[in-house]
Amino acid sequence: MGLWTFYFLGKAYLYYRGYIRFEFLMNLLFALFLVIPLKKKIPARRFLMALRFVITLSAAFLLLWHETWFPPLLRAIRLLSETGGISPAYIARFLRDSVNVIEVSALALILAICLFLNKRIVLTPLAFAAIISVPLLAAKDTTGNIGDYLERFYDAESKRVVRLEAPPGTAPDFDIIILHICSLAWDDLRAVGLDKDDFLLRFDVIFTNFNTVSSYTNPSAIRLLRANCGQPRHKELYGETRQECYVFDTFRSQGYQTYAAIDNDAPSYRFVEDIMAHGHADRPVEIKDLPIRQYDFDTSPIYDDLAILTRWWDIRQRSSAKKAMLYMDITTMHGGAHLADDPQWWKKERSVLYREFGRRLFGNLDTFFKTLEASGKNFVVVFVPEHGMALRGSSIQSPDIRDIPLPSITTAPVGIKLIGEGISPLPEQQVTISKPTSYMAISHLLSSFVSAPRFGRDSMLSKDIVDAIPETKFVAENEVSLVVRKDNDVYYFGKEKKWIKLPESALK
């Protein structure tokens, strides 16, 4: 087997470190294939040797890919093609930040040992020892009845709905502004010291255990726009659902003029099509003539978020509607996003850029809040991230990779802010919601606000309303990845089609 021994020793090392899984039977069969000799005196021996070499390399790559936590290879290729291309600068930054010097050094040491021993001893027994060690030494997965638990969860969620009752005639009018922020999780904020930023103190309600469910933009947006109903499976998002689930339809029926806005309209994302078709949102306001402040990882332009909000506010002021509702998606925090006039952005530390963009976002939104405060009108602002950025990554996913919706990626800071005459910009006591929640909690609060007798913190954030915020157990899901928290453990179901208890290193 020779230096192929390094392949198995290296993978065994990565497995015990928690970076990959290790398929015992498949590795054993592959090793047996490698030791099968090719007779010297057979026709076309050189051709067969070349063919065997190609097959061996292909099998080694496909097996290793299968054992990583990456998405299935064909899906990864499809996702890359759908982005419309990735800038070379983003690739360079990603590779630089994904390399763990300690682990690369350890693998280099294993390779050096194999090179040293290759001409002195037969290495094949070492390869088989590494393979056999996995079933002998590895801890057994105890996943129990997670599948049954998940089925009960979805069954219960399918029956939950928040219904908006017609407000009393004396109920005050107020606008609702939903700010959907890309790539902002508690874990990201803690990594750059923004988790206690003054901006977050401006919200009357802050959720510390809110699950965005998905770690990608489009499904998160659809889930938010259908927040009246319980959490559906991922595959149920891309089709019609019950009319009562659509948030915008519900508020239109209550006399609200609805709007949508985005700061990145890259056609490859199909974001506009998805929020209109599957979330019943409006076509976003025009932004083509507004300033471009950033470019995304695929070089698509990101327009100035404050300029977009200002444009909407101008449109709103010209409207005769008594009540309005805005959904705005903001992507300035996205991985690979960079200032339009900074060609050397990829040389900067990810955390430095993230902190810079976070402060700019908070500053712009604070400026917009002050504009609303000066108007004398009433507003409810919902600040809700789509998902996190995976700024720090984990042992099973590099930074910026979000295919597996880990708790560190989907647990996000959600804030509710009341703005109106007589309401101070800073609440005297912020309401903190620490129980597990998701989108239905937002729908519950909005429904309660509409039915409140008057606009104000006392009536809209009474103990009864806050205590009734519905809990939602942690289940996060993408197209091929499921993550479930049960008791104190977290389980993953993905391309290998079986439940796996995730190691602690994956959750930090």
Evaluate whether 282 touches 257 at the Cβ level (below 8 Å). no
So what's the pLDDT on residue 269?
80
Long-range contacts of 426-432 (CB under 8 A, 24+ apart): 426/201, 426/202, 427/202, 427/203, 427/204, 427/457, 430/201, 430/203, 430/204, 430/205, 430/206, 431/204, 431/205, 431/206, 431/461, 431/466, 432/205, 432/206, 432/208
So what's the pLDDT on residue 37?
84
pLDDT in tens, 323-349: 999 999 999 999 888 999 988 888 888
What is the value of pTM for the model shown?
A: 0.90
CA dihedral for 184, 186, 188, 190, sign (positive or negative): positive
So what's the pLDDT on residue 81?
67
pLDDT tens digits for the chain (508 residues)? 788 999 999 999 999 998 999 999 999 999 999 998 877 777 777 888 889 999 999 999 999 999 998 888 887 787 666 655 677 777 777 777 777 889 999 999 999 999 999 988 999 999 999 999 999 987 666 777 899 999 999 999 999 999 987 776 767 889 999 999 999 999 999 999 999 999 999 999 999 999 999 999 999 999 999 999 999 999 999 999 999 999 999 999 999 999 999 999 887 789 999 999 999 999 999 999 999 999 998 889 999 999 999 999 999 999 999 999 999 999 999 988 899 998 888 888 889 999 999 999 999 999 999 999 999 999 999 999 999 999 998 989 989 889 999 999 999 999 999 999 889 999 989 999 999 999 999 999 999 999 888 899 999 999 999 999 999 999 999 998 999 999 889 999 998 888 999 988 888 7
Q: Which domains does the chain have, with CATH numbers?
A: 4-137 (no CATH), 169-463 (3.40.720.10)
Tell me which residue of 91, 98, 90 sits closest to 68, measured CA to CA.
98
Residues facing residue 379 across a β-bridge: 175, 419
So what's the pLDDT on residue 168?
67
**C-alpha atoms less than 13 angstroms from C-alpha of 134 in its C-beta half-sphere:** 25
